[in-house]
Chains A and B, each alone.
Chain A
Amino acid sequence: MRVVWSLLLVGVLALIAFFGAQAGGQALFGIVLPYLAMAVFLVGVAARVVGWARSTVPFRIPTTCGQERSLPWIKPASLDNPSTGLGAAARVLLEVFTFRSLFRNNRSELREGGRFTFSADKWLWAAALAFHYSFLVVFLRHYRFFAEPVPAVVAWIQGLDGFFQVGLPVVYVSDIVLVAALGYLLWRRLADARLRYISLHADYFPLALILGVALSGVLLRYFSKADIVAVKELAIGLVSFHPAVPKGIDPLVFVHIFLVSVLLTYFPFSKLVHMAGVFLSPTRNLANDNRMHRHVNPWNPPIVGHTYAEWEQEFHDKLVASGIPLDKE
């Protein structure tokens, strides 16, 4: 039932913005809340990253999926088990761009007749990749609302995204992929009893919220068309710090913007900060060179050594008195 609450919550938020904007809350939903949300987002993410940067990393975690560098005739897995900083950087980038750790996702099942099976399960990886890349494309395309002149790259992305030239306004492939991937990711959590059991509000709410943002956007573009010239005026006003709400903005636009504001505000406090966190995952970004360099634990107290020579010096007279042979001499 947790999923129902999350979906309901997003629905209520959408209704609040829809009616709130019509009841004169345009400046609130169009100016005040977006500014606040952006501030919370930037400060919040920065605070999380600074917090991670300040925590000590005591030891390189050698959780790896490949052969460590050892003897010259044993071939090391230089990406899965890098021994250099460069290799570790490549491992982080591969993780960021291709989600290799999700690619290793397995599924264990109890089949008929008590047979227990393990199998690869690539659906999570495929859907996650589809979701993140389509989100990125949609996000980059939105830059056209915030910049004048619009950079040429954004126009190229739009051209590629609308390659099939279906309908007017041209249907973007990324919109279909985004909604389909989100739908699958939500369904995935519901379809499997075990996954459902471990899924929390913190898992459903982000999915429901992003689905709400995407669906309100799709509505705006293809169905209940908004005057997007006016939307751009609003957006430009925000980024040039001369905010003003122009006339003729549909309530649905405020729903879209409000849901985005909620997403931004929620971001630093939720699992969504993995956007910054991936770069700092210790199992990905530390080279496995434990056997090549001495890593001294930074919080160890300084070790006060006491060598044999010093010990002998200390007890010199006693040793001599009891006739024990000394190293010195």
Chain B
Amino acid sequence: MRDRAWIFIGLAAFLALALAPVWQSALHGAARKPEPKIVTKAKQCVEPTAEMRRNHMELLNAWRDTVVRRGQRTYLAADGKTVTMSLSGTCMSCHPNKKEFCDACHNYLAVSPYCWECHIEPKEKS
């Protein structure tokens, strides 16, 4: 009776909220998908690209543990190459454009690795 108005207001609010992503995409237009920019002349990453794309954080985690806990600094990649396990020293030497590379993907998915609180970011023009 008297309360019906409240129920319908609540229902309308729920439906509006449930479709929030639709309104947001209508307002902001179609989202651009990130295109991480490769600037190095190297042909290959440490591991195959598809592998890196999904698993780079696990690789970094393994590197961190191996260096900090076991004191080993050399990584043997699947293809037999060896690289020094270092975030700033290795990854960022081939990918010095953090803003256009790492952050391009990370901002898209609101990932914000806390590594840079300690590790040095490559200097870039913003």
Interface residues of A (CB under 8 A from B): 42, 45-46, 49-50, 52-54, 56-57, 143-150, 154-155, 158-159, 165, 167-169, 225-229, 232-233, 235-236, 239-242, 248, 276, 279-280, 298
Contacts and interface: CB of A to CB of B under 8 A. Distances in A.
B22 A239 contact: yes
B27 to A, nearest CB: 10
B82 interface: no
Interface centre among B18, B50, B53, B110, by most A CB within 10 Å? B110
Given A146-B24, A168-B58, 7 more contacts: A42-B15, A42-B18, A54-B4, A168-B113, A227-B54, A232-B109, A239-B22
B25 interface: yes
Contact of B21 (A54, A146, A233): A146
A242 B30 CA distance: 9
A289 B95 CA distance: 70
B44 interface: no
Nearest to A225: B54
B31 interface: yes
A53 B5 CA distance: 9
A62 to B, nearest CB: 17
A169 B57 contact: yes
A239 B21 contact: yes
Nearest to A240: B25
Interface in B22-43: 22, 24-26, 28, 30-34
B31 A155 contact: no
Contact of A147 (B24, B33, B112): B24
B53 A144 contact: no
A236 B8 contact: no
Nearest to B8: A53
A148 B15 contact: no
Contact of B108 (A148, A168, A227): A148
A157 B32 CA distance: 24
B15 A229 contact: no
A285 B123 CA distance: 60
Contacts of B53: 227, 229
Contacts of A144: 109-110
B108 A155 contact: no
Contact of A168 (B11, B33, B57, B110): B57
Contacts of B21: 143, 146-147, 235, 239
B33 A233 contact: yes
A88 B79 CA distance: 68
B30 A298 contact: no
A240 B33 contact: no
B116 to A, nearest CB: 13
A241 B53 CA distance: 27
B61 A149 contact: no
The 7 tightest CB contacts between A and B, nearest first, are A148-B31, A146-B21, A150-B110, A168-B61, A168-B57, A240-B25, A239-B21
B11 A229 contact: no
Contacts of A248: 50
B25 A53 contact: no
A53 B4 contact: yes
B78 interface: no
Contacts of B22: 239-241
Nearest to A241: B22
B108 A232 contact: yes
A168 B34 contact: no
A155 B61 contact: no
A286 to B, nearest CB: 9
B4 to A, nearest CB: 5
B107 to A, nearest CB: 8
B1 interface: yes
Contacts of B60: 168
A162 to B, nearest CB: 9
Given A167-B61, A276-B14, A226 B110 contact: no
Interface string B41-80: 0000000001001110110110010000000000000000
14 contacts: A46-B11, A46-B15, A57-B3, A148-B28, A148-B32, A158-B110, A168-B58, A225-B55, A229-B108, A239-B21, A242-B30, A248-B50, A280-B7, A298-B1
